[in-house]
Amino acid sequence: MPKNILLIMTDQQRLDHTGFAPGSKVATPNIDRIAEGMGFTNCSTTNPVCTPARSALLTGRYTHQIGMLAMSGDLSQEIPTYPQALQRTGYFTAGIGKFHWLQGWHWEREFGKGHPLAAMKDAMKRYGFDAIWETSGKQLLLRNYCDYAAHLEKKGLLGAFREIQIDSMPNSDDPAVQPWDQALVWPFAEKDHVDIMTADKVLETLDHRPQDKPFFIFCSFCSPHRPFDPPQRYLDQVPYEEVDDFIPGVVPLSEETKKKLYRFRQYYRALIRLIDEQVGRIFARLEDLNLLDDTVILFTTDHGEMMGDHNRSEKACAYRESVTVPTAIRHPDYLRHAITDTPIELTDLTATILDVAGLDPQAALATPWPFGGMAIPGRSLLPLLRGEIEQLRELAFAEGIGTHLTPAGRSPVRWEMATSQRYKYIRFIDLFINLRNPSPESYLQEEFFDLFQDPQEQVNLIDQPGLQAVIERCRRYCQFVNDLTPPVQTRWAPIIE
């Protein structure tokens, strides 16, 4: 029988808040067990925003290919997914926790008027799942109604929970206006916390899975995304510290903002401790069921969190704290206990999952019609785990829409990035450009960093004479990726049979 597969995902977790990463700020002994195979410290998310990154991982494609560059719109169900491919080859598939492949409502929509996810199980299963228990995400529950919302309502907690979400807003990439001081201790029974319930549902699924099939389980936690709401028991495990080690930005942080950030760090790390304990519970159940030696476990997150570095909060930018995501794989046949900084991409996990199941990612996900369905950029990581190669790709690609911070203020931009082990290239495209009279010189900005000499990305070397050859290679790579991965075209009109 093929190996079982378990994908564990968190929401908005920084690389340096994962135990196996050098210089980690928090212990994660259970997540570190996943890195017994290999831990990756240079994995670029395809796009450092929730819906785009998650949709890319599900489909194995870049976000510009699937029309999901920003957190708006719903992922088309015409685009093939890896769980669908696993189903076809005989896997039992279960999705538990936060999916966030749908973002169809406008941000200003009134509360309670989002997606009725609990009533959409049949539609959501079409992404490739036999069983689903879905959480919409903490703040998204202000408008969506998911399985977790139904649980809270049954216990009379939904209204109070939504009040907490309101207090945690607004979201902003400006740390000076973020309500960091709204971090709070979870006020309800510990067993009702969304991440503990998510682990509970994973354990139930393991206990009641079909015995005659291999399984795939997508376990997706909602933390450490805001609001920062750890139960007191986890907060007690993390000391409050005032360590002024923020990476400088073009505008310095105020002392008042730093004070709020110190408190936020404690609560954020407490949530990671909570998640790590849940991962430990899952490991224990796999061992109790004699499944650990037959199960491949993967770990990642959708994007990081700026935490005040570069005078930014949240995500959506190309700085390492936002775009580089902690990633690990435990394959029971290849326990190398290796940590690597070779560049990889989030969609490489998609290809790896399919490879574990004995499927070729190109054959499993490509569609010959309509146009654009053949380009599958992800590459399996199994050759790295087996020790057959030391580098999967020279450069990793990422993209997004966000703001670019300059002394003149924040500018809305679309950006693209190419990262090697040593260098990072970013090009920013001003979204205010007049498309009727475009002038590339007026809307394109570039940055280039030597990550070995300047890991905090402080010195822009784009005009450095001795680096022009490698800079040009990165420019060409970004163009190369765009040329070879056109958008997938979809269809809806009926065809005469």
**Mean pLDDT, residues 216-243 taken together:** 95
- The backbone torsions φ and ψ at residue 446, rounded to the nearest 5 degrees and listed phi first, read -135, 150
Beta carbons of 402 and 173 less than 8 angstroms apart: yes
For residue 435, name the pLDDT band (cuts at 50, 70, 90).
low
Contacts of 433 (CB under 8 A, 6+ apart): 442, 443
pLDDT tens digit sequence for 450-494: 999 999 999 999 999 999 999 999 999 999 999 999 999 999 899
| pLDDT for residue 440 | 63
For residue 411, name the pLDDT band (cuts at 50, 70, 90).
confident
For residue 407, name the pLDDT band (cuts at 50, 70, 90).
low
How far apart are the C-alpha atoms of 328 and 331, rounded to whole Å? 10
pLDDT tens digit sequence for 264-297: 999 999 999 999 999 999 999 999 999 999 999 9
| pLDDT for residue 108 | 81
**Mean pLDDT, residues 152-175 taken together:** 82
pLDDT tens digit sequence for 173-214: 676 666 655 678 999 999 999 999 999 999 999 999 999 999
The pLDDT of residue 437 is above 90: no
Q: What is the mean pLDDT of the chain?
A: 93
pTM, to two decimals: 0.95
| pLDDT for residue 111 | 87
Of the ranges 90-104, 176-190, 230-244, 265-279, which one carries the lowest mean pLDDT score?
Answer: 176-190
The pLDDT of residue 124 is above 70: yes
Residue 338 pairs in a beta bridge with: 38
Token duo for residue 131: 């069983």
The three-state (H, E, C) secondary structure of the chain, written as one string: CCCEEEEEEECCCCHHHCCCCCCCCCCCHHHHHHCCCEEEEEEECCCCCHHHHHHHHHHCCCCCCCCCCCCCEECCCCCCCHHHHHHHCCCEEEEEEECCCEECCCCCCCCCCCCCHHHCHHHHHCCCCCEEEEECCCHHHHCCCCHHHHHHHHCCCHHHHHHHHHHCCCCCCCCCCCCHHHCCCCCCCHHHCHHHHHHHHHHHHHHHCCCCCCEEEEEECCCCCCCCCCCHHHHCCCCCCCCCCCCCCCCCCCHHHHHHHHHHHHHHHHHHHHHHHHHHHHHHHHHHCCCHHHEEEEEEECCCCCCCHHHCCCCCCCCHHHHEEEEEEECCCCCCCEEECCCEECHHHHHHHHHHCCCCHHHHHCCCCCCCCCCCCCCCCHHHHCCCCCCCCCCEEEEEEEEEEECCEEEEEEEEEEECCCEEEEEEEECCCCCCCCCHHHHEEEEEEECCCCCCCCCCCCCCHHHHHHHHHHHHHHHHHHHHCCCCCCCCCCCCC
The β-bridge relationship of strands 396-406 and 344-345 is unpaired
pLDDT tens digit sequence for 354-388: 999 999 999 999 999 999 999 999 999 999 999 99
For residue 434, name the pLDDT band (cuts at 50, 70, 90).
low
Distances (CA, A) of 436 to 333, 427, 445: 57, 21, 20
Q: Work out the percent of the chain whose per-residue pLDDT is above 90.
A: 81
From the list 224, 219, 423, the residue with the least C-alpha distance to 318 is 423
| pLDDT for residue 40 | 98
| pLDDT for residue 408 | 64
| pLDDT for residue 193 | 97
